[in-house]
A = this chain, B = another copy of it.
Amino acid sequence: MTTRVPRILALDCMGGDHGPSVIVPGAAIALERHPNLRFELHGNKTAIEAELDRVPHLAKAATIHHTDTVIGMDAKPSQALRRGKGSSMWNAIEAVKAGRADFAVSAGNTGALMVLSMMILRAIPGIDRPALAGQWPTIHRSSIVLDVGANIGATARELADFALMGAAMARAIYGIERPTVGLLNVGSEEIKGVEEVKQAHAWLKQVDLDLDYKGFVEGDQIGQGLVDVVVVEGFAGNIALKTAEGTAKQIATYLKEAMTSSLKTKLGALLAKSGFNVLKHRMDPRRVNGGTFLGLNGIVIKSHGGTDAIGFASAIEVGHGMAARDIVGQLKGDLLAFHSKLDAIEASLSKRDQTKSGTDAKSETNEKSGAAI
């Protein structure tokens, strides 16, 4: 696969819990990694300059694009659409649209970033609804899970597209040429699984794609890192993500209570401090940072809102990897080819069915493919 060197990135400096005080030093770290990278810094000039003063090497590589308009962390997407024009978030995305920037990064409000990205960049041909792809920390490294909440429900085609798009992202950010992909499902045979999931499964098994399709995975296998990419529709995906976060917090609460339950446990915890630091590091949400909306005409990365400079630099790294691999151009070609293969399969099945019986060929086809698994 060809790579190219991203030259310019656009940063929404006002997003996140800490604004420029995290984003500017985050950009400085990214510049150390990629000395030829140039930065468009969108937001309040005074606030950005105050931060740039501390990182003179970045000051030389950056241009400030002033705006007073900021989308609040609790703004509703509808408000962002109505009042977001000219905001730091809007302008950063616009820089991608205009072709000035290779990618944009924001730690702002997810909903606002999603609707603005969709409106400004639009979906690529063949994609109706882009997916929100998140990184999920696993005992190995991390996996990509999509959709974690851009849309409720997904057709079989959309699920299959998610597989393709997630694999492209895994190639770009993990450097794996044939990423492993699994479809999230409920395990036991008594639960039949949804028709869409079954149909997507049949297609992913049948069509030769640039990925290693591993079949169904269950909720408890995500954190085990069983596959590089986990595909699921957005309702269950968002619930799974939130549930995992909640469980981690719950256990952290238990652990804290347990370690402060007596003088002896407190002493033991003190002695084992380096171990707890290792644990803290592995559970650190900054460690894997950078989600994205796959299926758009451009790269926009969503950073955690509460992250620090190191975490923000990780989000920049994700965007850099995706831009270097020209993920948008790749996906356009791959999706077109995939969809024409699917159309061919459907047409041939439909033809076979029409020969057999004249009635309701399409729905019969679907049932059959589902049952054939």
CB within 8 Å of B: which residues of A?
76-78, 110-112, 114-115, 138-139, 149-153, 184, 186-194, 218-224, 232, 234-236, 238-251, 253-255, 257-262, 264-276, 278-279, 282-283
Instruction: Give the docked Cα–Cα distance between A254 and B225 (Å).
Output: 14
Contact A186:B235 (CB < 8 A) given known A240-B240, A246-B219, A282-B258: yes
Measured CB to CB, the nearest residue on chain B to A78 is: B189
Q: Do A248 and B251 touch across chains, with their CB atoms under 8 A apart?
A: yes
Q: Contacts of A150 on B, CB cut-off 8 Å?
A: 191
Contact between A243 and B240, CB atoms less than 8 A apart: yes
Across the interface, name the chain B residue whose C-beta is closest to A225.
B250
List residues of chain B with CB within 8 A of the CB of A78: 189
Taking a contact as CB atoms under 8 Å apart, the answer to whether A250 and B139 are in contact is: yes
The number of times this chain is found in the oligomer is 2
B272 touches A264 (CB 8 A): yes
Task: Please determine whether B283 and A275 come into contact, CB atoms closer than 8 angstroms.
Answer: no
In the complex, what residues of B have CB within 8 A of residue A259's CB?
272, 275
Inter-subunit contact A275/B282 (CB<8 Å): no
Residue of B nearest to A79 (CB): B189
Beta-carbon nearest neighbor of A138 in chain B:
B250
Name the B residues within 8 Å of A274 (CB-CB): 261-262, 264-265
- A253 to B283: give the CA distance in the assembly, Å: 11
The chain B residue with its CB closest to the CB of A282 is B254
Give the complex CA separation of A250 and B223 in angstroms.
Answer: 6
CA distance A112 to B271 in the complex (A): 49
A272 to B262, CA, bound (A): 9
Task: Report Cα–Cα, A245/B223, bound state, in Å.
Answer: 10
Contact sample, A vs B, 11 pairs, CB 8 Å cutoff: A77-B190, A138-B250, A139-B250, A139-B253, A149-B186, A151-B191, A187-B238, A221-B246, A224-B249, A254-B279, A257-B278
Chain B nearest CB from A110 CB (Å) reads 7
Which are the 3 A-B pairs with shortest beta-carbon distances?
Answer: A268-B272, A219-B242, A220-B246
Nearest CB to that of A189 among chain B residues?
B76
Query: Is B254 in contact with A283, judged by CB distance below 8 angstroms?
Result: yes
Contact partner, A243, options B111, B244, B271, Cβ 8 Å: B244
Give every chain B residue within 8 A of A276 (Cβ-Cβ): 258
Q: State whether A244 and B244 are in contact (beta carbons under 8 Å apart), knowing that A258-B282, A283-B254 are contacts in the complex.
A: yes
Which of A235, A238, A260, A262 has most B Cβ within 10 Å?
A235
Query: Are B262 and A241 touching (Cβ within 8 A)?
Result: no
